[in-house]
Structure formats: structure tokens, C-alpha cells
């Protein structure tokens, strides 16, 4: 209904834009609360299959780059070939999208987000690196807790749920996820999965 409303004066247009943004916020919050409840009740069924990760990530990143244009943020990819994860492709995509959105929320305008996919021995590593303010050291141990937003939450419309959802999905997929600050600035989120031996 909000999308159907047409206004022509500047003041009401600004109010309508605020209304739409708030409606989108509530919609995202509701979806994430339902998702988190299902994860905590272990009522989500996972349909794992073998996924070649380079092409899988490229598809997600192609869509993500469109969102980055408003902040003039560049996405740099360094993705190795022939790395397969045994995952539920739908739910794993939610993890990647949450990490990317988190990076975009907190990174600076006119900067770069780096996405790496690499193999170390029997492990596959995905890294999402931003050039934002980083994570306050006292926030790091709590960053994946439900509703936790930390020092820089006011920079974005974060609900404090995305990283908690990502963490629980990765645990269900028998992987690991961690966050750290980089010496040169910015934050790095790392997913570690066992590589399928095909």
C-alpha cells in the first residue's frame, strides 16, 4: 500500500520514504525472529548437497554488488576453484548474505569489501573483510550473541540478529565462524568448513 501512494511535495515524499524504510525494517526483523526461533528449536530441515563454491559465491556477489553502488563500495573477489562444501545451499546463502550486509553496513563509503575463498589442507575458508571502524575489543566475544549490536550499532539499522543466525546455521553445518579485527583497520569474518573430498 505504501508503494502505491504517490506524493508530489517534498515534505510528504520524505515522510513516505521514512515510512517505507521503517516498514522494511519491521519486515526484516519479523523474518529474522521467526528464523532464529526455528534455529533454536532445531525445527529447520537441512537439505545438504555438494556445492562448488566459486560459482556459488559469484552468484551471491553479483547481486550484492548492486547494493554496494549507493555507497560507492567496490567488491574484490579472490576465489579459488574446485572447492566443494557439503551444505544446504539456501541456508548457507543466508549466512553469506548476512556477513556481506554486515560488512556493507559498517564499512566506509568509497572503500572496498574483500571476499576470499581458499583451501588450507582439508579446510575451506571463506573470508569477508571490510574497511570499517572494526569491532570494539570488548564486543568481540559477544558478537554472535542474539540481539548483541556493539559499539557501532547506531551506524546501521541492525537488529542484532543476523550474526546470531549465521553462527547457528554454520554450527548446524558442522563448521566454524569467527570475527577479528585487522591491524590495518577493519573487521574480518571467517567461515571454516571441512572440504568434501570428491
Read off the pLDDT of residues 150-168 as tens digits, 9 standing for 90 and up. 544 444 445 567 888 889 8
pLDDT of residue 153: 44
Q: What phi, psi does 153 have (nearest 5°)?
A: -60, -30
pLDDT at 107 over 70: yes
The Cα 68–Cα 74 span in angstroms is 7
Q: Please report, rounded to a whole number, the percentage of residues in the chain having pLDDT higher than 90.
A: 46
Higher pLDDT, 48 or 151: 48
Residue 15 grid cell: 515522510
Rounded (10°) CA dihedral 25, 31, 35, 37: 90
Give the residue-averaged pLDDT of 57-69: 93
Residue 154 has a pLDDT of: 43
pLDDT higher at 42 or 98: 98
Distance CA 61, CA 168 (A): 22
pLDDT band at 21 (very low <50, low <70, confident <90, very high): confident
Q: Residue 28 — very low, low, confident or very high, per pLDDT cuts 50/70/90? A: low
Please state the rounded mean pLDDT for residues 61-72. Answer: 92
For residue 159, the model assigns a pLDDT of 53
Q: Name the most confidently modeled range: 39-53, 129-143, 154-168.
A: 129-143
pLDDT band, residue 80 (cuts 50/70/90): very high
Determine the average pLDDT of the residues in 110-123: 95
73: cell is 563500495
Residue 70, pLDDT above cutoff 70: yes
HEC string for the chain: CHHHCCCCCHHHHHHHHHHHHHHHHHHHHHHHHHHHHHHHCCCCCCCCEEEEHHHHHHHHHHHHHHHHHHHCCEEEEEECCCCEEEECHHHHHHHHHHHHHHHHHHCCCCCEEEEEEEEECCEEEEEEECCCCCCCCCCHHHCCCCCCCCCCHHHCCCCCCHHHHHHHHHHHCCCEEEEEECCCCCEEEEEEEECCCC
Amino acid at each position: 500500500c505504501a508503494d502505491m501512494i504517490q506524493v508530489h511535495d517534498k515534505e510528504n515524499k520524505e515522510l513516505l520514504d521514512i515510512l517505507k524504510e521503517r516498514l522494511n525494517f519491521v519486515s526484516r526483523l519479523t523474518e529474522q525472529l521467526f528464523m532464529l526461533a526455528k534455529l533454536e528449536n532445531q525445527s529447520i530441515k537441512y537439505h545438504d548437497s555438494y556445492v562448488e563454491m566459486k560459482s556459488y559465491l559469484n552468484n551471491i556477489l553479483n547481486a550484492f554488488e548492486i547494493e554496494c553502488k549507493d555507497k560507492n563500495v567496490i567488491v574484490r573477489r579472490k576465489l579459488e576453484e574446485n572447492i566443494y562444501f557439503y551444505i544446504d545451499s539456501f541456508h548457507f546463502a543466508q549466512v553469506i548474505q548476512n556477513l556481506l550486509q554486515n560488512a556493507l553496513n559498517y564499512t566506509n563509503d568509497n572503500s572496498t569489501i574483500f571476499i576470499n575463498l581458499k583451501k588450507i589442507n582439508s579446510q575451506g575458508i571463506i573470508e569477508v573483510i571490510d574497511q570499517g571502524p572494526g569491532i570494539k575489543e570488548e564486543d568481540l566475544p559477544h558478537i554472535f550473541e542474539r540481539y548483541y549490536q556493539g559499539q557501532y550499532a547506531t551506524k546501521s539499522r541492525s537488529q542484532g540478529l543476523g550474526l546470531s543466525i549465521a553462527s547457528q546455521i554454520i554450527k548446524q553445518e558442522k563448521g566454524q565462524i569467527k570475527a577479528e579485527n585487522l591491524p590495518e583497520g577493519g573487521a574480518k569474518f571467517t567461515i571454516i568448513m571441512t572440504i568434501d573430498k570428491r
